[in-house]
Amino acid sequence: MHALFEEAGKFMAGRILSEAESSAQVELDSGKRVKVKAAHILLKFEKPAPAELLREGQAVAATIELPLAWEFAPEDEFGFADLARDYFSANATLAEQAGALFALYEAPHYFRRAGKGRFKKAPAEILQQALAAIEKKRLIQEQIVAWAEELGRGECPQPIREQLYKILFKPDKNAPEYKAVVEASRATHKAPLDLLTQAGAIDSPYQFHWKRFLFDNFPKGTGFAPVTAPQPPADLPLAPVQAYSIDDSQTTEIDDALSVQGLGTGTVTLGIHIAAPGLAITPGSAIDQLGRNRLSTVYMPGYKITMLPDEVVQIYTLDEGRANPAVSLYVTIDEATLEISGTETKLERVPVAVNLRHDQLDHIVTEAWLADPSIEVENTPQALLERREQLSFLYRLAQKLKAQREVVRGKPETFNRPDYNFRLSGNDGAEPTGSETVSISTRRRGAPLDLIVAEAAIVANSTWGGLLADHGVPGIYRSQASLAPGMKVRMGTKALPHAGIGVKSYAWATSPLRRYVDLVNQWQIIACVRHGKTAALAAPFKPKDADLFSIISSFDAAYSAYNGYQAGMERFWTLQYLRQNAITELDATVLKEGPGGSFLVRADSLPLVLPVLGAQGLPRGARVRVKLGEIDDITLDVNGTLLARLDDAAQEAAPDAEGEDDEEATAGPIAIAVDVNEAEAPAPAAAGH
């Protein structure tokens, strides 16, 4: 005697060895013996052989027309043998009964299971919905296959083009567009990014990087809804100074300006004047929400996305020729010793006489020019000549302040590498297309004008950080416990030392038009100025305010993403510079061992770090000549091959300030992680470097 039974959702048949009231021992064709519950046995038979019955039953099941079987089925619960007799004949064979069982079991949209071998026909309306869903799924699958075939032929269907960035970076793995890319990737044995690139899905490398950044950070676009810019208080006193800013020519959000009074009297007052949108923008307002959503201005070569609408920026930027609302820090300094004897913070309107542009003046304002009044430089602007004595004093003060900080730091600040400035010709400040001609110039770190502005900002940020702490008003601080390797700068609400800068506390407050944390700190500083000892009660943010921690977390993430994009775009334009100027070889300095047996080197005259083969055994700091390989504008990748060593002996590279060397040495091509499940696509599922 044989038995057909169901076990764990599968139908099996075998020879019955023994039988009890509730179970039976059954031997399968494989020789395996299983214990089967009596309720699971659906048919008992002498002939045919078990394997033959299963085979014949499957063949019969394939012939059963399910719509017709559904019509034949009774309204009440029924058994499979009952349907076989209704569908075939009253004398339905074992194969026909088994076929009915298999067909019913495999068609849950027509027949619901009501027990072992028992079924109930689905209601008509439910059946129609199920059939419609099955048809839809069939059509979608056909579409997936068609799209995959198009991709394989090097053509990109429009729906996939429209979903490109979602497919690559935040895929919905149930979406047909995603499945088509996976199918095509598997069929062509190409990584999805390579597949889509070859299919023409990417309009241009620049647009790829730009749209990816917008997809991740500005999914609703970069425009602002119309706003009414709040006006500053009308009763602000007018400061008795003539201030001037020092910025790059492309700067439109001018946050800071300086003034000097009392030269020649023995006591000098340095004014550090910061744009004051915090005097009118209130926490929780519509404009505040705009700033809090963006958290910072985004910079990139030739373009920027501002944190605040232009209507707001134009009111509070420290433009020349007008009196601008400002939070001013006045620092009293002994003219002979350059020692600071006192500070005072005021809310006022500050007349700005001129906006100096350091990229136009750095070649004039040198150490020698500041030290020797007899030195003349052709075409020196009159506005600069009028402030020569002040700038000379400020430079001596900046050098003194830097030296004092270095004592606290325990080692000098070093500026081993220049800053690089990118200029694009042809876009006139509009969104670049990627086809512009790029020029790259250098600017020495620690140049006089740069040092003057930097030290003034440090004085303001550290002084105001202490002011907040003294008044018990929380702020957002940057701190660093020590200069030990791996000790990072952190943001928090406590006034802790910043070892890298060499100050007791440091709160960003000098760029409120460009960084949201500076605006938050400005609100808190304004409360201290207006309310004195009761400032903690009046400040917008109270101690242990959960909102402050939320702002810190959001800012850290956004600022990191924005800086990463800026670095990526600077690398993109550096690679374009190589191509536009037909540069195939360059001189570089060995940094450290890189991936795949290569060594990372830094170009001597460009902001470029790249892996080079053939540099094994060369020490850190060795200077080499490198031949460049092909440039990949999508991954921002370029490799090199060692041509020659340029120095004779091993040279140790001087470590950069605050560990920047190691951090920047790891910078390189942008990682493009294509999130395609490797289990679904045996072909390489990611393109990244």
* pLDDT score recorded for residue 359: 84
Which CATH architecture fits 565-645? Beta Barrel (2.40)
Report residue 626 CA to chain centroid gap: 31
* pLDDT score recorded for residue 618: 86
Tokens for 221, please give them.
Answer: 């676009």
Which pLDDT tens digit goes with each residue over 116-129?
899 999 999 999 99
Banded pLDDT at 663 (limits 50, 70, 90) = very low
Q: Alpha-carbon dihedral of residues 319, 322, 325, 326, nearest 10 degrees?
A: 60
Q: Alpha-carbon dihedral of residues 396, 402, 404, 405, nearest 10 degrees?
A: 160
Q: Which of 41, 43, 100 is nearest to 70 (CA)?
A: 100
* pLDDT score recorded for residue 281: 94
Residues 200 and 567 sit within 8 Å (Cβ to Cβ): no
Which of the pair, 617 or 364, is modelled with greater confidence? Answer: 364
* pLDDT score recorded for residue 17: 93
Q: Per this entry, what is the length of the chain?
A: 689
* pLDDT score recorded for residue 662: 40
Residues 489 and 478 sit within 8 Å (Cβ to Cβ): yes
**Could you report how far apart the first and last alpha carbons of the chain are, in Å?**
65
Banded pLDDT at 259 (limits 50, 70, 90) = very high
* pLDDT score recorded for residue 649: 55
* pLDDT score recorded for residue 157: 92
Residues 524 and 465 sit within 8 Å (Cβ to Cβ): no
List the Cα angle 293/296/302 in 5-degree steps: 120
- Please give the Cα distance from 352 to 627 (Å, whole number): 51
The CB density around residue 132, as the number of other CB atoms within 10 Å, is 10
Greatest distance between any 2 Cα atoms in the chain: 123
- Please give the Cα distance from 371 to 523 (Å, whole number): 40
Q: If you average pLDDT over every residue of the chain, what do you get?
A: 89
In terms of Cβ atoms closer than 10 Å to its own Cβ (0-12, 13-18, 19+), residue 252 is middle
Q: Residue 669 pLDDT more than 60?
A: no
Q: Residue 650 pLDDT more than 50?
A: no
Which pLDDT tens digit goes with each residue over 483-498?
888 889 999 999 999 9
Q: Where are the domains of the chain?
A: 2-122, 146-202, 243-543, 565-645
- Share above pLDDT 90 across residues of the chain, in percent, rounded to a whole number: 71
3-state secondary structure of 398: helix
Banded pLDDT at 416 (limits 50, 70, 90) = confident
SS3 readout for 280-344: CCCCCCHHHHHHHHHCECEEECCEEECCCCHHHHHHHCCCCCEEEEEEEEEEEEECCCCCEEEEE
Question: What does the pLDDT average to over 131-139?
Answer: 91
Question: What does the pLDDT average to over 221-234?
Answer: 89
Banded pLDDT at 661 (limits 50, 70, 90) = very low
Peptide bond into 595 cis (omega under 30): no
